[in-house]
């Protein structure tokens, strides 16, 4: 028998045996504002009060795909176009907001440096995702790349060779549309998806997993990034242009020792990070999570010697992947120092006061 025929037969058998039901129930979420559409509720509770983190969980789950992804989350003509399903309210991590902070359930802090990939902290993240891919835990990873204007773009990586794209490495300090892409990835994946994100994105993923089993099943690895704040593309690009940064020559952006450094092919622009406070998004202003508390494993530069990244290990899956990396000798490891993290964790915890205001 032909291979394709066997496959078709298997499909038919699968169709016949799979548990399916013709009746099912959905819990309808509560509305704080009665007689209003769900999106109007979300708008009044999260967007208008300026605590929206722009994690785009709502845009990812919106069945019509009508929630617009811009600098701000918006939904033009929601009065006529909203299907009023309540999915956005169900998954929004900030609809009922209990700020997370601290280190989470970290079991170990390790300093690591990837031998295979070059770059900033992203190299260690890439190492984790690629190793998970080699182990067969996941079959695709979601990475944030950039275009020539330093706008973020999402890439689905299914083969380590794809990582040769240089625009994938390097920190961008700009919001990326991770979650809408995650939904697409979940649609096409067979084994599972690995996703990288800032604490707000990690919260969004966890909320999706909590509400919908399909995400619990398909999203296998969540890697968090240490994050103090992130910026809207339009705001930071304008700010950097004013400072004299030419985007066509820009090679790398970095924050070290309280200074923002934009390295270009022929020169460097440096200024204090504090100066960026004027363009700080309102959502970041109320975020207390520095280490991506809910992630399986978090990575960042703080807390280890230059060149190394701190890895905060939380879940068993992360331990398994790190053991594999050690076994294969893909990375060098050292001791991490969680003490250094304390300052930034404390710094972000203070932002809880902003929430009360």
Binding site for other proteins (CB under 8 A): 12, 15-16, 18-28, 30, 61, 63-65, 83, 85-87, 187, 212-215
Report, in angstroms and rounded to the nearest whole number, the Rg of the chain calculated over CA atoms: 21
Closer of 23 and 357 to other proteins (Cβ): 23
**Tokens at residue 217, please?**
């099943």
To the nearest whole angstrom, how small is the minimum distance from the Cβ of residue 139 to other proteins?
17
To the nearest whole angstrom, how small is the minimum distance from the Cβ of residue 141 to other proteins?
20
For residue 19, the tally of other CB atoms under 10 A from its CB is: 4
For residues 191 and 309, give the distance between their C-alpha atoms in angstroms, rounded to a whole number. 28
Of 174, 207, 205, 203, nearest to 286 by C-alpha is: 203
Closer of 66 and 355 to other proteins (Cβ): 66
Of 33, 78, 266, 309, nearest to 68 by C-alpha is: 78
To the nearest whole angstrom, how small is the minimum distance from the Cβ of residue 6 to other proteins?
17
To the nearest whole angstrom, how small is the minimum distance from the Cβ of residue 133 to other proteins?
23
Closer of 84 and 323 to other proteins (Cβ): 84
For residue 163, the tally of other CB atoms under 10 A from its CB is: 18
β-bridge partners, 141? 157, 194
Closer of 61 and 100 to other proteins (Cβ): 61
Contacts with 255 (C-beta within 8 Å, 6 or more apart), sequence order: 171, 173, 228, 261, 273
For residues 91 and 292, give the distance between their C-alpha atoms in angstroms, rounded to a whole number. 18
Is residue 153 a contact partner of residue 182, using CB atoms and an 8 Å limit? no
Closer of 27 and 356 to other proteins (Cβ): 27
To the nearest whole angstrom, how small is the minimum distance from the Cβ of residue 186 to other proteins?
8
Closer of 39 and 290 to other proteins (Cβ): 39
For residues 255 and 346, give the distance between their C-alpha atoms in angstroms, rounded to a whole number. 18
Contacts with 230 (C-beta within 8 Å, 6 or more apart), sequence order: 173, 174, 175, 198, 281, 284
To the nearest whole angstrom, how small is the minimum distance from the Cβ of residue 142 to other proteins?
18
To the nearest whole angstrom, how small is the minimum distance from the Cβ of residue 18 to other proteins?
6
To the nearest whole angstrom, how small is the minimum distance from the Cβ of residue 183 to other proteins?
8
Closer of 61 and 129 to other proteins (Cβ): 61
Closer of 214 and 275 to other proteins (Cβ): 214
Q: Give just the sign of the alpha carbon dihedral 289, 293, 295, 299.
A: positive
Query: 114-118 — which CB contacts under 8 Å span 24+ positions?
Result: 114/330, 114/331, 115/329, 115/330, 115/331, 115/332, 116/330, 116/331, 117/163, 117/169, 118/169
Q: Give just the sign of the alpha carbon dihedral 252, 253, 258, 259.
A: positive
To the nearest whole angstrom, how small is the minimum distance from the Cβ of residue 349 to other proteins?
35
Closer of 91 and 202 to other proteins (Cβ): 91
Is residue 262 a contact partner of residue 233, using CB atoms and an 8 Å limit? no
Closer of 8 and 251 to other proteins (Cβ): 8
For residues 71 and 281, give the distance between their C-alpha atoms in angstroms, rounded to a whole number. 10
To the nearest whole angstrom, how small is the minimum distance from the Cβ of residue 203 to other proteins?
19
Residue labelled with tokens 């809880």: 352
For residues 311 and 302, give the distance between their C-alpha atoms in angstroms, rounded to a whole number. 10
């Amino acid at each position: 028998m032909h291979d394709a025929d066997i496959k078709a037969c298997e499909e038919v058998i699968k169709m016949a045996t799979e548990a399916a039901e013709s009746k099912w129930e959905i819990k309808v979420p509560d509305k704080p504002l009665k007689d209003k559409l769900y999106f109007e509720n979300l708008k009044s509770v999260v967007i208008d009060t300026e605590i929206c983190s722009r994690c785009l969980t709502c845009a990812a789950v919106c069945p019509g795909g009508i929630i617009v992804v811009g600098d701000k989350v918006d939904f033009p003509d929601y009065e006529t176009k909203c299907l009023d399903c309540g999915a956005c309210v169900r998954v929004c991590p900030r609809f009922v907001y209990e700020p997370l902070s601290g280190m989470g359930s970290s079991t170990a802090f390790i300093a690591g440096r990837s031998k295979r990939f070059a770059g900033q902290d992203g190299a260690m993240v890439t190492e984790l995702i690629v190793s998970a891919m080699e182990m067969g835990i996941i079959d695709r990873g979601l990475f944030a790349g950039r275009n020539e204007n330093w706008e973020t773009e999402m890439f689905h990586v299914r083969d380590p060779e794809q990582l040769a794209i240089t625009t994938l490495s390097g920190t961008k300090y700009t919001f990326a549309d991770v979650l809408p892409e995650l939904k697409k990835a979940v649609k096409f994946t067979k084994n599972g998806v690995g996703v990288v994100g800032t604490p707000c994105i990690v919260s969004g993923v966890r909320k999706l997993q909590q509400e919908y089993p399909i995400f619990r099943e398909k999203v296998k690895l969540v890697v968090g990034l240490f994050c103090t704040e992130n910026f809207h593309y339009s705001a930071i690009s304008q700010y950097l242009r004013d400072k004299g940064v030419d985007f066509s020559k820009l090679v790398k952006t970095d924050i070290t020792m309280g200074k923002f450094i934009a390295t270009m092919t022929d020169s460097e622009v440096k200024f204090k990070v504090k100066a960026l406070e004027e363009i700080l998004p309102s959502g970041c202003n109320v975020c207390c999570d520095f280490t991506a508390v809910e992630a399986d494993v978090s990575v960042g530069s703080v807390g280890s010697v230059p060149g190394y990244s701190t890895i905060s290990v939380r879940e068993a899956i992360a331990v398994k992947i790190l053991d594999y990396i050690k076994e294969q000798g893909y990375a060098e490891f050292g001791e991490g120092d969680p003490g250094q993290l304390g300052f930034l964790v404390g710094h972000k915890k203070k932002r809880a006061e902003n929430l009360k205001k």
